[in-house]
Structure 1
Amino acid sequence: MSRKRFHQILRAMRFDDKMQRRARFKNDKLAPIRSLWDMWRHRLPLLFNPGSEVTIDEQLLPFKGRCSFKQYMPKKPAKYGIKIWTAADVSTSYAWKVSIYTGKSGEARELPPQLLNLKGRDVLSSVFAFTNNTTAVSYMPKKGKNVLLISTKHRQPAVEEGPKKKPKMITDYNRCKGAVYTLDQLVHNFSCQRRSRRWPLTLFFNMLDISAFNAYVIYTHVDPSWNEGKQARRRLFLHDLASVLTAPEIMRRQTVPRTPQSLALVKEMQATAHGSAAFQAAHREEELPRNLPEVKRKTCKRCTNRTIGTCVSCGHPICKQHRAPISCQSCNQK
């Protein structure tokens, strides 16, 4: 499609019924994209089985427009944006589960006061709390600082030997926390993000980026020998993914594009799809020459602007400013 058509689609893109949004927005801050977001995040854990280690960390999706749940995180490079909690597989960085932070909720689980109170505790001390399937630890690395961590993997109050006496939960987390950082870095290296002041559109672009990365992880697990040994495997995968997604639309085109490069691409894909020499021969005569003559710009009849347009009545060069619906303004005044 043309760039103009692409921008028209971006301006008109919506993910819900705007007439009913106000009533839903009172109880749901994600109302403009809630239905699409829920369908997407519910499918992520169904398509891939992670390994034995899954870590949870926060991502900051850069955004500086209006958003009621926009966060300020000074330690992040973007500082302002939408905070997303992501559970990623440690070995592959596959985004297994995601959740958007929209503010504090009344149903949040409270921690025991023994984990929050630091009075009377020794430096480098650890306090553990257990439930049926969860373990929490409070570690005090120095006076006045409290490090809290929750895990569903560890079931013993193990503390490593050494000068810092760190709990094994914290050392394991430090070893595995890079999964979300790696996911964030890889997603931003090859991104379809476009500048926008509408947070649902920014979130939609991030969904596409994560989906493309997850698809790459799944594909390389199904076929590990695909482009094995190449450093740009993910770039090659994204190129093939774009070709597969656009091929049906190219094949159904009724009119061919004007530029020689685009025309050659369309004919090649259509010929490959049909796979016959007769199809190629039937369309060979319709191909335009590759070296088209360069169109020279001329001075407008009514001003000094350079233009390639001409009046259909008198044939003189005329720019857009002095062009009438049918002919130039000079011909209409006669």
Structure 2
Amino acid sequence: MTVETALEMLQNMGRDDSDAGALSESEESDSDRSWVKDRSNTSSSSERESAGQQRKKRRRLSSKNSDRNIAFRLDGPFDGVEPATADVCAGGGCGNGQDGTAWTVLPLSDRPGRTQSQNVLTEAAGPTAHAQRNVEDALTAFVCLLDDGMLKHIRDCTVAEAHRHLGDSSWDLTVAELKAFIALLYVRGAQGAKHINVDSLWSEKWGLPFFTETMARNRFREVLKFLRFDKKETRRIHLQDDEFALVSATWNKFVANSIACYKPGADITIDEQLFPTKARCKFIQYMGNKPDKFGIKFWLAADVQSKYMLNGAPYLGKEESKGQLLGESVVLKLAEPFLGKGRNITTDHFFTSLKLATALQAKKTSLVGTLGEAKRECPPSVKEPAELFSTKVLKCANATLTIYQGKPRQNVCILSSLHTSVGITDGPKAKPESVTYYNNTKHAVDVLDQMAKAYSVKDGTRRWPVAVFYNILDLAGINAHVLYKECTSSRIPRRRFLLQLAEELRAEFMEGKRAAAHGAGPQQQPPPHLAQKRRQCQVRRSCNQNKTQDTCNTCRKPVCGNCVKRRAVTCVDCV
């Protein structure tokens, strides 16, 4: 029924049919009737457009409520609110989202609601039994995360690359020397020397004795040059199925060890980390809201209480997901090892959705996160301005949506399957409990990233697998510190822990060097077939790649007569 038809019905309505009493002669005059008739016939174009829009909106209404809607329009002026929305709000509802999600208004509560069974933590937080048995010092805590198998794999790949590049099978690297190399990286990060030139670290005037005592500068550069995490012979096959294949074996093993060594508390944060690098890589990301802009993006899950990195995965670009958004699939993947134990997951608007909250709730896990206004499940009321510091709480199924007007022109929407009712905290801003809970649990990944950058081993590199390895060492340093503190009840600061870890990492290599320097037995001498073969001098201090049969007794490098110091065969770098 159109507006013109309704007006015509009013004109033809008899006195007995009217419920407003008898009409007077003046009220029944032709002039009044002509005014109604003229108004219906001489409506402006804007009125006709609005009437057309109203007709389109009315077609969406069910026939069951058509008479009531007409009466609503005729009883008073139309104020721009749809009758269906007005009826829902009058009955305690607040409209539907674009996808049909129905929300109802939930009254504010003075006391917190009862804890749901899904949020009763049934697992003790802290290091696992495996970690408690093995962690005794800084080195054992580190080896729980980067075990000997991983170090041997890196050693084998590095040696294979050196043999392929040099065309000589005499180049070798031991696991003890690889640990000493990692120790130098940790000291460089802990001392804030990551932006200092490598030559300055070995300088007699400006360098640190730790570097010169541990390894020669050229040897450090060699190990860094040949450092690899996969073998080139099988790389092409692995890249067909995994774009992260150049370092995926090391990354996946580190994540698996991190999961096996620690159980998180009641709260987990899932967010993104941008590891800064401009290395040549097709999945480098640009994020304008980050300080470093360019880098490799990782999805990380961290424990809110200890800031322990629980799980992680690299972002390699768009992936096919089975009927799921990217944020939903990431949260379900990272939270999978910790589901069903009564924990809560805190996320930001990129990950949060009502569908995700329902999926987690089916696995005895709650979700608290900000919900963007553009989400299809959001009701229209989230965009309406409200009084400053006012709160509106809506409910759909077992999830609540808190709309808090924290700023004059901006509100925040918190979707929670943890809070069955929402109370208002004391204070001038009258924040609701769900907003306060989100603020207290949203920061774990951001703090973890800040901690990693404080003593990062990162250095400039053009090879993205090396950049990923730097990130692994940063996260392993934080996780090892958490394990060491909780297994030994120590309160050692993280910088001191990293320096202690570096000292223990190089201990085995230093013992080998001292034994080689003081031993005179034939077991310290190079094999005869290597001694007879002439090789290029690797010291190159006073020569031009001369060939020699002599080898330095300390670093085992070939050294010519021009680069020898004193009578003993010792290169100038090892004096």
TM range (shorter): 0.5 to 0.7
Distance 2:256 2:460 in 1: 27
Question: Is 1:175 matched up with 2:440?
Answer: yes
1:77 aligns with 291
Distance 2:506 2:437 in 1: 43
CA 1:120–1:129: 2 relative to 1, 3 Å? closer
Distance 2:510 2:233 in 1: 35
Does the residue aligned with 1:105 lie in a helix, a strand or coil?
A: coil
Question: Is 1:240 matched up with 2:454?
Answer: no
Distance 1:27 1:146 in 2: 44
1:122 aligns with 384
- State the identity as a percent: 33
> How many residue pairs end up in the alignment?
261
2:240 aligns with 26
| Pairwise CA distance, 1:139 | 5.3
Distance 1:95 1:8 in 2: 31
Does the residue aligned with 1:31 lie in a helix, a strand or coil?
A: coil
Larger Rg, first or second structure (1 or 2): 2
- Summarize the alignment of residues 265-284 of structure 1 with structure 2, pairs less than 5 Å apart: none
- TM-score with structure 1 length normalisation? 0.65
CA 1:172–1:32: 2 relative to 1, 3 Å? same
1:214 aligns with 479
Report if aligned partners of 1:115, 1:137 keep a CA contact under 8 Å in 2. no
Distance 2:402 2:239 in 1: 38
State the one-letter code of the partner of 2:504: V
1:65-98 deviations in Å (ceiling 9; x for gaps): 2222211111211011111122111122111111
Distance 1:70 1:148 in 2: 31
State the one-letter code of the partner of 1:16: D
2:280 aligns with 66
Distance 2:483 2:283 in 1: 32
2:310 aligns with 96
Match of 2:420 among 139, 156, 159: 156
1:28-48 deviations in Å (ceiling 9; x for gaps): 221111111111111112211
| Pairwise CA distance, 1:158 | 3.3
The gaps in structure 1 that reach 5 residues or longer are: 257-266, 268-281, 284-308, 310-318, 329-334
Distance 2:465 2:291 in 1: 21
CA 1:92–1:66: 2 relative to 1, 3 Å? same
Question: Is 1:3 matched up with 2:217?
Answer: yes
Distance 1:68 1:146 in 2: 38
Does the residue aligned with 2:279 lie in a helix, a strand or coil?
A: coil
State the one-letter code of the partner of 2:500: D
1:191-223 deviations in Å (ceiling 9; x for gaps): 222211111111111111111111111111122
1:9-46 deviations in Å (ceiling 9; x for gaps): 11111111223323332332211111111111111122
State the one-letter code of the partner of 2:496: L
1:126-184 deviations in Å (ceiling 9; x for gaps): 666668xxx585858689989676767x1526364799897644432222222222221
- Summarize the alignment of residues 34-45 of structure 1 with structure 2, pairs less than 5 Å apart: 34-45=248-259
Distance 1:60 1:128 in 2: 35
CA 1:151–1:50: 2 relative to 1, 3 Å? farther
State the one-letter code of the partner of 2:271: D
The list of structure 1 runs, each at least 4 consecutive aligned residues, that deviate by more than 3 angstroms after superposition, is 108-114, 116-131, 135-152, 157-171, 323-328
Report if aligned partners of 1:84, 1:98 keep a CA contact under 8 Å in 2. yes
Distance 2:394 2:465 in 1: 42
The gaps in structure 2 that reach 5 residues or longer are: 1-214, 329-352, 355-374, 386-390, 521-540, 549-559, 562-575
